[in-house]
Amino acid sequence: METQVKEGVIFSLSFQEALDRATSLISGYKAKPLLIGSLATLSPLFSCKVTLEYDFPNDKRKRTLTATIFVDPNGNEVKVKGDIQYSVPFQVEMVEGKPPSDEAILQVAKKELPSTAEVINSRIDEVKKVWYTSSFTFTFSLGLTNAHVKVGNTTQVTIDPIKREAIVDLLKKEFGVEGGNVEIKEREEGYTLTYLDENWNGFMELNKVGVVLSKELKITQKHAVSLVEQKVNGKALLVTGEFRVYAEDDTTLYRCDVDPHTGDVSCKRVGIPSGKVKENSETYFINNMFSRPTTLDVSFTEEGWIVKISGETGVAEYLVKHDGSSIKVKFLRVNEKFGEMWGKKEFPGCEVKSSIKENSIEVNASDGNFNHRVILSLEGKVKEKEHSITDSYALRLAYNTMGLSSGCREELKRWKGYILVDLSCNGKHHIAKLENDGKVKETLDVVDITSLLGSLKLGNVVSAGYKDKNIVVKVEEEKHYRYIKFNMQGEKLKEEICDRGFLSKIKCVKQDLEYRPSTQDPTELIMS
């Protein structure tokens, strides 16, 4: 629009220069400016025609200077550009002011003289009022709002606040969404926006004029899970990161990755489903814990399937690989019933008894020939194991080994891991030394001392017994002592006589030592 100015306008700053400066000041907002208004503030300016007569101290010839100067109401000189114009292409507002004093005008004019000049005479020939542009204010449409830029001796940029509706419309357009909740926070540099609905959440930063500085729209975890469940036609088990979702259907375990920005889903088969894990774990429990589960709980982790299971024989926790290829026992506690069932499996056909000790389970089993004793830890591991033939089996082995059928007096003792069986019949001891597994370590046939003495019809027997696998006997007679040594079969090996009396005492002491029995028990002969 054109505005008429009666006194005329002269420019200290041209319209285009001011517009260029204004445009430069808002270029940092990264939006294309559209000029929608301009306003010039006009201040009074006085055009003064002044004549000065002057000379110099060393040259008294008179000189004359006629000049036109422009002075504001405060008496300050204003440098102007171009010619006076009476029509301008912008709106104006005027600031009134009175002309300065003549003295002020002349002081400005004298500045046009050389510094050493001396004024002889001065006069003001003419004073005319005109207007000059002290500042321009431009209004731009910038982004989602308007910017007001003042350019003059100082500059100032003012940005109008953006309307909420405009911000919301921009966000929905940028994110391609409808509805949802939009939260707007104004900050010094602009605006921070957050968006949330059931499926998406977004974040956006705007500068003061609504230019997008950054934005991010992400899928919600709930929606990511929903997309995966639709993809595999199953149910989600675990979500990690942004967004890895483990899910299963009736036949397969899947690992799915969901693009957080687009919602695209890609899935890979990685294992077996929980139903198959339960089936495998139940079978494993039955085979290793010897009872059917009464409770069975399966949960999923990135490490594998966690199975907590219990039954009549104890409780266990398993870690099952995703593909079901291995089952690792993480925790196990067995009980007395486990010991019984373990024993029946380990010793089929045996009578089994199980009992709880302080930190273990003792299992005893017998099949008639062997006794089995096993100590199990509370984790079901074998700590100790012992096997030993039964007394009845030891007797049968001894009869068989010694070539006897039956009818002997039977004595049995266990000594240092061996079973010693003494079958006494027909005037002899038939002794077998057996190992715990039933192997024959040693046998010995030895005459029964009582039977031997009875057959010999000796007199007063002082002592009789076994020594160094021989039989030694001391007999008291009327005038002397008789010392006799027999072998194990009762054959006489040696006989000595020691007279009774003081003179033979030393000799008798020596013979007493030689013929003194070491034991009355024939089984001690094979204990070494």
User: What is the residue type of 170?
Assistant: L
d(CA 309, CA 314): 9
**Alpha carbon separation from 345 to 282, 339, 349, 351, 361 (Å, rounded):** 18, 10, 9, 11, 16
The torsion region of residue 212 among left (phi > 0), alpha (psi -120 to 50) and beta comes to: beta
Decide: 150 and 137 in contact? Cβ < 8 Å. Answer: yes
**Alpha carbon separation from 192 to 6, 169, 207, 216 (Å, rounded):** 51, 15, 9, 12
CB 291: neighbour CB atoms within 10 A? 16
Tell me, yes or no, whether 22 and 131 share the same domain: yes
d(CA 480, CA 473): 14
Tell me, yes or no, whether 329 and 343 share the same domain: no
Tell me, yes or no, whether 19 and 144 share the same domain: yes
Tell me, yes or no, whether 225 and 196 share the same domain: no
d(CA 178, CA 210): 19
| pLDDT tens, residue by residue, 452-481 | 988 888 889 999 999 988 999 999 988 899
Decide: 445 and 430 in contact? Cβ < 8 Å. Answer: yes
pLDDT at 1: 66
**Structural domains counted in the chain:** 7
- Which of 128, 138, 24 shows the shortest CA–CA distance to 89? 138
Tell me, yes or no, whether 121 and 54 share the same domain: yes
Tell me, yes or no, whether 442 and 459 share the same domain: no
d(CA 141, CA 33): 6
Decide: 227 and 233 in contact? Cβ < 8 Å. Answer: no
Tell me, yes or no, whether 323 and 408 share the same domain: no
Tell me, yes or no, whether 143 and 98 share the same domain: yes
Decide: 89 and 2 in contact? Cβ < 8 Å. Answer: yes
pLDDT at 500: 81
* Low-confidence stretches of the chain (pLDDT beneath 50): none
Radius of gyration, alpha carbons of the chain: 62
Query: Which residue range is the domain that position 285 belongs to?
Result: 274-334
Tell me, yes or no, whether 296 and 245 share the same domain: no
Tell me, yes or no, whether 370 and 481 share the same domain: no
pTM of the model: 0.64
Tell me, yes or no, whether 199 and 261 share the same domain: no
Write the CB contacts of 196 (distance below 8 Å, at least 6 apart in sequence): 180, 181, 202
Residue with tokens 């062997």: 370
d(CA 250, CA 280): 15
Decide: 200 and 223 in contact? Cβ < 8 Å. Answer: yes
Tell me, yes or no, whether 22 and 114 share the same domain: yes
